[in-house]
């Protein structure tokens, strides 16, 4: 009897650790420093999508719907990620989501579809619109002179401005903050893209996400994906914060 009680206690403790809003205690965060349930779901959905870890993704998708994300918001997160982790990961994520929705429907669960993206009425060039979005994200003017990879490959600079920052970021199903949390989560899990991770952590901070919330994001990744990925992200975040304090 005693062994059964111990087993039950350990099971309860394990479930509390897994679902902890989580990892807040592990990360040493209070309610004001942590990501809310909606943001946490965006982080975990993005992490598992980028990794291609479909079993974990299915649970994250169910949790996201329970946290109040609409079907269209989750679809938008997964579609957004193709710009960072490619069509194969994104499409597998969408297929997993379709499966989850079918399973929920078979159980009589009706999920909120959510609204569609507002039609774009701006008739300006997509390149200029993309520049404006990037300026809003970074808080910095976009200079005309190209340098680095943009000078080496001007075509990719056009694709970035016109497609990523106009076609994708202008879709208002998700906020800029939603998209940056998804992006940072994907980049941490991809690995080997530290300069891009640093840039997007900087954007997240500019948009109002706090250092503590980014630490919470990394704790979620450590809990759900792995310590190696989270530690690499923590090193980048430390560099970002050191630069901002100078």
CATH number at residue 223: 1.20.1290.10
Q: What domain range includes position 207?
A: 2-117+171-245
Judge whether residue 24 has pLDDT over 70. Answer: no
Report yes or no on 159 lying in a domain. Answer: no
Closest CA to 122 of 114, 113, 134, 132: 132
Distance CA 114, CA 69 (A): 8
Report yes or no on 68 lying in a domain. Answer: yes
Report yes or no on 132 lying in a domain. Answer: no
Mean pLDDT, the chain, whole residue set: 89
Report yes or no on 149 lying in a domain. Answer: no
Question: Model-level pTM?
Answer: 0.86
Query: Into how many domains does the chain fold?
Result: 1
Q: What is the mean pLDDT of residues 42-59?
A: 97
For residue range 191-216, list pLDDT tens digits in order: 999 999 999 999 999 999 999 999 99
Report yes or no on 128 lying in a domain. Answer: no
Instruction: Give CA torsion, residues 147, 153, 157, 162, to 10 deg.
Output: 160
Report yes or no on 107 lying in a domain. Answer: yes
Distance CA 101, CA 61 (A): 9
Q: Considering only 17-26, 103-112, 138-147, which range has the smallest mean pLDDT?
A: 17-26
If pLDDT is split at 50, 70 and 90, which confidence band does 33 have? Answer: confident
Report yes or no on 131 lying in a domain. Answer: no
pLDDT of residue 22: 46
Greater pLDDT, 15 or 162: 162
Report yes or no on 158 lying in a domain. Answer: no
pLDDT of residue 26: 46
Q: Considering only 116-130, 135-149, 156-170, which range has the smallest mean pLDDT?
A: 135-149
Q: What is the mean pLDDT of residues 172-179?
A: 98
Judge whether residue 8 has pLDDT over 60. Answer: no
pLDDT of residue 146: 81
């Amino acid at each position: 009897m005693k062994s059964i009680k111990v087993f039950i206690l350990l099971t309860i403790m394990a479930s509390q650790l897994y679902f902890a809003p989580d990892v807040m205690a592990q990360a040493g965060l209070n309610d004001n420093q942590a990501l809310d349930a909606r943001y946490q779901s965006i982080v975990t959905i993005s992490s598992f999508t980028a990794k291609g870890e479909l079993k974990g993704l299915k649970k994250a998708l169910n949790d996201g719907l329970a946290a109040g994300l609409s079907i269209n918001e989750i679809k938008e997160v997964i579609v957004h990620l193709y710009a960072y982790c490619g069509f194969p990961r994104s499409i597998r994520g969408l297929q997993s989501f379709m499966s989850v929705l079918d399973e929920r429907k078979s159980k009589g669960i009706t999920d909120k579809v959510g609204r569609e993206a507002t039609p774009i009425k701006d008739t300006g060039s997509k390149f200029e619109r993309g520049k404006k979005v990037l300026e809003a994200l970074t808080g910095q003017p976009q200079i005309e002179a190209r340098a680095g990879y943009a000078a080496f490959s001007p075509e990719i600079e056009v694709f970035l401005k016109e497609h990523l920052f106009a076609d994708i970021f202008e879709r208002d199903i998700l906020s800029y903050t939603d998209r940056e949390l998804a992006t940072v989560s994907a980049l941490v899990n991809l690995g080997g893209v530290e300069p891009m991770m640093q840039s997007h952590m900087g954007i997240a901070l500019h948009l109002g996400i706090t250092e503590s919330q980014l630490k919470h994001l990394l704790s979620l990744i450590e809990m759900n994906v792995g310590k190696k990925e989270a530690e690499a992200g923590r090193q980048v975040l430390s560099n970002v914060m050191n630069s901002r304090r100078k």
